Chains A and B, each alone.
Chain A
Amino acid sequence: MTAITPPARKKIKAGSFSLNRFSTRTQALFHVILLLFSLLCIIPFIFVIIIAFSSEDSIRQIGYSFTPISWSTDAFAYTFKLGNALWRSYLNSFLITIVGTVLSVAMTVLYAYPLYRRDYKYRKFFNFLSFFTMIFGGGLVPTYVICKSVLGLSDNYAALIVPMLFSPFNVIIMRTFLQTTVPPELIEAATIDGSGEYSTLLRIVLPVVKPGIATIALLVSLAYWNEWFLSLLYLNKNMSIMPLQYLLMRMQRNADFLAKNSSMLGADASKAAAQLPSQSLKMALVVFIVIPIACAYPFFQRYVIAGLTIGSVKG
């Protein structure tokens, strides 16, 4: 820290006119730090792509390497041979993520808005109701029983969407965002101008909190996109609605299980292990999983950054 500040001060003394400007040396330092940080983020992904294109022989002989002995597109050829199973699960992932995100954001906003309104009578109670579930969960088995037997969430898309619709954490974020960006005066002004409750929410409040919504949408869509545990729990017979993450996770878990139990299973484990998909195939699937979300990120990012700087009241 001390290394950064002195040159900046010196520059100002030397007659620089912009207070917001850093010295060249500081800028260079920041650039280097950020560059290193970006590399830390990008290199693993590049590594994954390299492994996906490495030949199986190369992985067997020298393990994962940035410079494999030989290249191959077998893994991708195989994923295309997976055909329907792969594309259907890919489509499922998109469907679950999009529907889930839209519904979840709608629910979060509709729950958070009354909690933000000071004139809402049961505010404390509903606040507590959602907060309580953050601390005390029902546990896996009771949740499973309720979802499967009472709500009928089994072997259908709803089973992969509904359990994650509501997150108290997101409600708190949204409520806080409303509190900090939408002054009560704005609501009062709207009411005086003759706006009803719904039109106040939809026409006045929502446009102001767009960045907050984008943040929540990003969090929720990431959560849906990466979700596989719900599939494990609730998909039994209807495997055609399985998302891509679960397809990948299943391969990983199969390999882990066989590794753990190979000394118990004996020859059966060796036979099963020989059938497992190759390392490069797993990495190829990771590429499939990462690309859409990596593409979606910049769009959200615009709003997230905007959220830091914009409010409804300027000055």
Chain B
Amino acid sequence: MKKFLALILTLAMVLAACSFAVADDLPTITIMFHGSNVSDDSAVLEKVNEYIADKVGAKLEVIWGTWGDFDEKAVNVLTSGDKDVDMVFTCSWSADEYNSYAKKGYFLKLDDLIEAYGADLKAAIPESLMQAATIEGAEGKGIYAVNGFKDTATQNTWDVNVTLLNELGYTVDDLKAKGFFGWDEIFAKAKEVKGDSFYPFLVEPMVAERMVTNSIIVAGDAGSTNLLSLYLNPDDVSADGAYGNKLLNKFATPEYKAFVDQMHKYYEAGYIDPALSVAETSNDARTNHQKDASYLIGTQSYAFGYEFSADVLARGVEVQFVPCTTPYVDTTASQGAMMAINSASEHPEESFKFLALLNSDPVLMTLMNYGVEGIHYTLNDDGLVVFNDDARATYSPWTNGMGNVTILPDTASEGAGFRKSFQEYYAGALGIPSLGFVFDNSPVENEMAALGNVAAQYALALDCGAVDPETELPAFLAALDAAGMQTYLDAANTQLDAYLAK
């Protein structure tokens, strides 16, 4: 009897296994995103899997990485060769460094796959972005990630509270005419009208520094406090700047000295919130002042259409973003959000097909990014997307982190034709002369770590004007020199020269 039962059980199990295999023969591919705020993806994934079953031949699963945990997760997945994750977000501005990971062999070289399955992808993404993704990796020069078409150019702007400015009797043109070094009078007036606890100048210190001195971020430089600096030509971003194509210690230039002197004057006069000068409180304070519209002039690294975004509209005042330069394409911005395929993946073809489809097919991109029509959004009479806030609270991925956002439909708050203008705006952006250069910091890693620590100690307070540049700046420069700034600079310049010579 027992043997008989065992036989039947075995048979049943074999049959069950067979029926499973028949119903579920599509492989599962897993993608890991950055910056998501997603707690319920069931409705979306059901639709997506229905849609991609024939086109990709796989089932999709998603790991919704958040801002805070993505870096750590991605490093673990990639370094441990975890084959359960097929596609990973990457970029050039965070710890998930595209260039260094490709060099270490964590990412699959995609050139062959693009050749085989990438016709639609190539048509959907500008050639310049493909070029920006072409780098020297573990398997030689090639493309190691699908580059997302988003706000691929950088543009820093003064974020002006126009309502208040007009109340004070000035116009945006007055601001432009007076320039950063001549705003004393306007700030003094604001302080007089709005009271002593009002801080008119809402800076993000590092950004303000770049705006005033026309310096830009060099890809591969030390993390959040950049040390190196290239100088832009503010009138024509594709032409050489004041110092040509040479990397400088940004803190040692006369431009920087002039900037921090002026900031110190503004700070001493009480125009800048002291909370902005402390790393721990800086961002919170900035967000809070923006929410309250309790500022006159701020800084904002701008993306086309930002004035229509919910958080700007919620400020309840008229806001205008006054650009310092035309948008420029640099290496950092052109590798801003990409999707790479894990070299340990067992389904590279399906993964690539999915990425190609995601970046070229509006239906899939809309589904993944905005959710399901009728649940996460509805279309109004003009055919514009109106979000359902409750449903979006459980499903809002990072729009720009997903890929080609130019194929998304227009939303009601952005207005009809927004994505088309967006596309044109960035398609027309000019590249800087050294576009594509990435500093390989591995030979000077130790210097970089030491310099980063020194900069973290001094730079924010100086940029914000909280300390006296007469005493602090020389101390800062001396500390940088002691930490090996010259070695670091020489290494960077040698590499840049070699790059430009090619």
Residue ranges of A at the interface with B (Cβ–Cβ < 8 Å):
59-60, 63, 85, 140-141, 144-145, 148-149, 154, 232-233, 236-237, 239, 249-268, 270-276, 279
Contact = CB atoms under 8 A, between A and B. Distances in A.
B61 A252 contact: no
Could you say which of B71, B85, B280, B303 has the most chain A C-beta atoms within 10 Å of its C-beta? B303
B93 A148 contact: no
Nearest to A240: B39
A274 B66 contact: no
A125 B81 CA distance: 34
A142 B292 CA distance: 48
Nearest to B337: A268
B283 interface: yes
Contacts of B67: 253-254, 257-258, 272
A72 to B, nearest CB: 16
Contacts of A268: 35, 303, 398, 400-401
B63 interface: yes
Contacts of B275: 63
B343 to A, nearest CB: 16
Contacts of A272: 35, 67, 398
A294 B94 CA distance: 39
Contacts of A274: 287, 290-291, 310-311, 314
Contacts of A262: 204, 283, 286
Interface of B: 30, 32, 35, 37, 39, 61-64, 66-69, 71-73, 76, 79-82, 84-85, 93-94, 151, 154, 204, 206-207, 210, 217, 223-224, 275, 279-280, 282-284, 286-288, 290-292, 300-303, 306, 309-311, 314, 332, 396, 398, 400-401
Given A85-B39, A266-B303, A260 B224 contact: yes
A264 B306 contact: no
A233 B284 contact: no
Nearest to B303: A267
Contacts of A279: 284
B311 A255 contact: no
A239 B39 contact: yes
Nearest to B79: A141
Nearest to B154: A266
Nearest to A264: B93
Given A236-B63, A253-B67, A270-B300, A261 B224 contact: yes
Contacts of A60: 288, 291-292
Given A60-B288, A141-B79, A267-B306, A275 B37 contact: yes
B287 A273 contact: yes
B80 A267 contact: no
Contacts of B204: 262-263
9 pairs of A and B residues whose beta carbons are closest in the complex: A253-B68, A266-B301, A259-B283, A274-B311, A267-B303, A264-B93, A257-B67, A254-B68, A254-B67
Could you say which of B82, B279, B283 has the most chain A C-beta atoms within 10 Å of its C-beta? B283
11 contacts: A60-B288, A63-B275, A148-B80, A236-B73, A254-B68, A261-B93, A270-B300, A270-B311, A271-B309, A274-B314, A279-B284
B65 to A, nearest CB: 9
Contacts of B69: 232, 250, 253
Given A237-B61, A250-B66, A264 B279 contact: no
Could you say which of B76, B290, B314 has the most chain A C-beta atoms within 10 Å of its C-beta? B76
Given A252-B68, A257-B67, A264 B287 contact: no
Contact of B80 (A85, A141, A255): A141
B284 A140 contact: no
Given A144-B80, A254-B68, A259-B279, A270 B93 contact: no
Contact of A258 (B283, B302, B400): B283
B309 to A, nearest CB: 6
Nearest to A154: B84
Contacts of B68: 249-257
B73 A237 contact: no
B287 A263 contact: no
Contacts of B314: 274
B76 A233 contact: yes
Nearest to B394: A85
